[in-house]
Amino acid sequence: MSVWPAWEVQEHDGATSWFHVRLAFPDGARVDALAVVCEQNVSVEDVRAQPALSLDDLTMLADWIEAPLFEACGLESEGEAGEEPGGARRARPAWPRGIEGRWLIAQEYRAAQEEGADPVLAVMCATGHSRRRSLRLISQARDAGFLTPRHARR
């Protein structure tokens, strides 16, 4: 497996790092991914595989690449810390659904705004979702009345 940095965003109390990851198998199969490491979480932004991955393999991708990504960032993975030996773990942190989730999205968004940080990136890090999904969640929080409406375009 090969891991190399794509870019990094420095914030007040940490950093979010994107990495290109390539898994090459002896039979010629290959997986290329763009992964994000933020606050001890791994999220997979983009995946290209030849041949295509099964759904089971796709759900396990973050687990396959977690240890090398944490090593590249100088972090210790959960498995190394011994928090859950041999057990399964979610690649994405659990996030409440419905009205509670929308309220939490709004809290993350406003906290980032107050700190002068990118609010969309803060939601991405908090939820473990992609930028597109995070924007959709922010829109839902706006629709629920937890965030002010966007400015009207003219």
List the alpha helices (DSSP H) in the chain: 55-73, 78-81, 98-115, 119-127, 131-143
Task: For residue 85, name the pLDDT band (cuts at 50, 70, 90).
Answer: very low
| CB within 8 Å of 76: residues ≥ 6 apart | 70
- Dump pLDDT digits (tens) for 119-150: 888 888 788 777 888 888 999 999 999 998 87
Pairing of strands 30-38, 41-50: antiparallel
pLDDT at res. 146: 93
- Dump pLDDT digits (tens) for 40-68: 777 888 889 888 877 777 777 777 787 77
Residue 69 · residue 154 · CB < 8 Å: no
The sign of the CA dihedral 107, 108, 109, 110 is positive
Task: For residue 153, name the pLDDT band (cuts at 50, 70, 90).
Answer: low
Nearest of 151, 103, 108 to residue 128 by alpha carbon: 108
Q: Which of 8-12, 79-83, 135-139, 150-154 has the lowest mean pLDDT?
A: 79-83
Task: For residue 152, name the pLDDT band (cuts at 50, 70, 90).
Answer: low
More confident residue, 77 or 106: 106
**What's the pTM value of the predicted model, to 2 decimals?**
0.46
H helices then E strands: how many in the chain? 5, 4
Token digits of residue 108? 């993350």
- What span, in angstroms and rounded, lies between the C-alpha atoms of 11 and 62? 24
